[in-house]
Amino acid sequence: MLTKIKEKTYTEADFAKFIEKITEQKVEFADGQFIPVHGTKPLPADLVDYILSDDFDEKELTFPFPMATEKHDIIIENTNGRMFLYALQNKKFHIFAQGTMVYIPLNGKTRIPDVIVVDKSNNRRDELHRVLTPVVVVEVLSKSTQSKDKNEKLDEYQSIDSLQSYILISQDQPLVVAYSRLSENLWQQEILKGLDKLLSIQSIGFQVSLKEIYEGVEFSESE
């Protein structure tokens, strides 16, 4: 009878050391594993151990981390840009994109959404600079991560008391799914399909058309 080898796990202290040493690549921390933000599989233990060691030199890191697609980057640039311009006028919110971490008190995980909106009057972070009080979280779906974003992360983000809106943006078609908090444990789902639709995030008083979100994105006929 074969005995399954137990997967090596890491601690919060290891994660703190890891993100201090790795500056170019972004990873989430879940269930004691380091997971590239654009991937689903944990980094190999031997790679993590090397990064945590005294011998590590980031310039010598050759492991191919999963990369975002051009569509993903364009959608984030469009969405973040319009939110940022709105925040400059509104002056009540901070907008952070692609790299800012969020802490999940429910299970102790660290996630890195594509866009985060924080109320300036309630902008709290921990010692690892993880956002503790997001108001809006935006994720752009990819084939590799969409299941995690639609299920696992949905439950995690909705467990954060401060969160009012969770936005999922498809990169394969003009489609946005928006979750809005109605009360402590009650959320409303809205599905927007087509470039003529308008996304309204009432929690921050922000509106943007899907045409603006997808500006510059080309879809194939099969999509």
Same domain, 161 and 103: yes
Same domain, 46 and 98: no
Kindly state whether residue 220 falls inside one of the protein's structural domains. Answer: no
CA distance 25 to 36: 8
pLDDT of residue 221: 62
Per-residue pLDDT tens for 99-131?
899 999 999 999 999 999 999 999 999 999 999
Is the model's pLDDT at 3 over the cut of 70?
no
Does an H or E element contain 20, and which?
A: helix 12-21
Number of domains in the chain: 2
Is the model's pLDDT at 213 over the cut of 80?
yes
State which residues form the domain around 143.
Answer: 70-213
pLDDT of residue 144: 81
Tokens found for residue 56: 């590590």
Is the model's pLDDT at 29 over the cut of 60?
yes
Kindly state whether residue 6 falls inside one of the protein's structural domains. Answer: no
Mean pLDDT of 71-84: 95
Is the model's pLDDT at 4 over the cut of 60?
no
Tokens found for residue 2: 């074969």
Per-residue pLDDT tens for 37-64?
988 899 999 999 999 999 998 777 877 7
Of the residues 60, 79, 99, the one at which a domain ends: 60
Same domain, 44 and 153: no
Kindly state whether residue 222 falls inside one of the protein's structural domains. Answer: no
Instruction: Indicate the pairing of strand 165-170 with strand 134-141.
Output: parallel
Same domain, 178 and 133: yes
Kindly state whether residue 205 falls inside one of the protein's structural domains. Answer: yes
Kindly state whether residue 84 falls inside one of the protein's structural domains. Answer: yes
SS3 for 110? strand
Burial of 72 (0-12, 13-18, 19+ CB in 10 A): buried
Using the Cα atoms of residue 210, residue 213, residue 215 and residue 220 in order, give the sign of their dihedral. Answer: negative
CA distance 74 to 58: 28
CA distance 16 to 18: 5
Same domain, 45 and 119: no
pLDDT of residue 99: 87
pLDDT of residue 62: 77
Higher pLDDT, 29 or 1: 29
Same domain, 86 and 187: yes
Q: What is the CATH number of the domain that holds 145?
A: 3.90.1570.10
Per-residue pLDDT tens for 139-191?
999 888 888 899 999 999 999 999 999 999 999 999 999 999 999 889 999 99
pLDDT of residue 5: 52
pLDDT of residue 34: 95
